[in-house]
Amino acid sequence: MTAYNGTKLPVINIIGTFNPDAKMHVLLMSHWDSRPFADNDPDPTKRKLPVLGANDGASGVGILLELARLCNEKLPQVGIDIFLTDAEDYGAPDDWEGTHDEKWWALGTQMWCKQAAKEGYRAEYGILLDMVGSANASFYREYYSERFANSFVNEIWQTAARLGYGDLFINQSGGGVTDDHVFVNRMLHIPCVDIIDTRTDSEGTFCPQWHTTSDTMENISRETLGKVGRVLVSLLW
Ligand SMILES: [Zn+2]
């Protein structure tokens, strides 16, 4: 895929399936790349350094790998397609003087969606995990998820409430985020929900470590990861 600045990126998506012959499949997604530049770092001298992505990337991947381990122990009745997507976070940096367009984000997902559409890939619905590991996380009902997949948003947020996680999964509409799920919704017409940490119900307000050099393991909470994982287990098994 070609990046915003003309760089040719060797995009590597990783896809694994449990229960391939099941009638109904659920698509679970997370991006495994991390942003190559920390353009939101408070220290301007660090803005060309890479983001390590403990939260913005690895947190979602970690939960999906744990679900894969659980699938090995006991298969759920549905087919589970785990899609670790590449080059999600390669959008133009803040100081880029060329065009800023949503098409420069989620490159791996866009590449896969084209191929999947050709092959007639179907899933009942999809769930994208992005930034699901912060101690002070809050998951509002993301705007595009409500627009394209509202009944599944209801199901996920009700499941969380039933498990006692209503303070984490806040049952209020949030802002819209350009993320992998937008392309799955638009290009494959598979309803796809983004579980993403935003700090208010308005747009573009992420955790303080977002796109900085501080997106590291010290800021990861096992408790948050566990709660998100248990919501998915409850839904899928
Ligand atoms: Zn990011």
**Residue 17: φ, ψ to 5°:** -125, 135
Cα 135 to middle of ligand 1, angstroms = 17
Cα 107 to middle of ligand 1, angstroms = 13
Query: For residue 143, what are the domain limits?
Result: 14-236
Q: How many domains does the chain have?
A: 1
Whether 6 maps to a domain, the answer reads no
- Give dist(CA 181, CA 171) in Å, integer: 20
Predicted local confidence at residue 200, as pLDDT: 78
Lowest mean pLDDT among 25-29, 172-176, 178-182, 185-189: 172-176
pLDDT at residue 204 tops 70 = no
Model-level pTM greater than 0.95? Answer: yes
Cα 48 to middle of ligand 1, angstroms = 15
- Give dist(CA 42, CA 96) in Å, integer: 17
Confidence of residue 17 (pLDDT cuts 50, 70, 90): very high
Whether 88 maps to a domain, the answer reads yes
For the chain, state the CA radius of gyration: 17
Whether 123 maps to a domain, the answer reads yes
Whether 7 maps to a domain, the answer reads no
Structural tokens at position 220: 């990861």
Predicted local confidence at residue 205, as pLDDT: 86
Whether 60 maps to a domain, the answer reads yes
Whether 1 maps to a domain, the answer reads no
Whether 160 maps to a domain, the answer reads yes
Cα 151 to middle of ligand 1, angstroms = 26
- Give dist(CA 36, CA 91) in Å, integer: 10
Confidence of residue 68 (pLDDT cuts 50, 70, 90): very high
Instruction: Report the mean per-residue pLDDT for the chain.
Output: 96
The CATH number covering residue 57 comes to 3.40.630.10
Whether 102 maps to a domain, the answer reads yes
Please say whether the beta carbons of 163 and 234 come within 8 A.
Answer: yes
For residues 27-33, give the mean pLDDT: 98
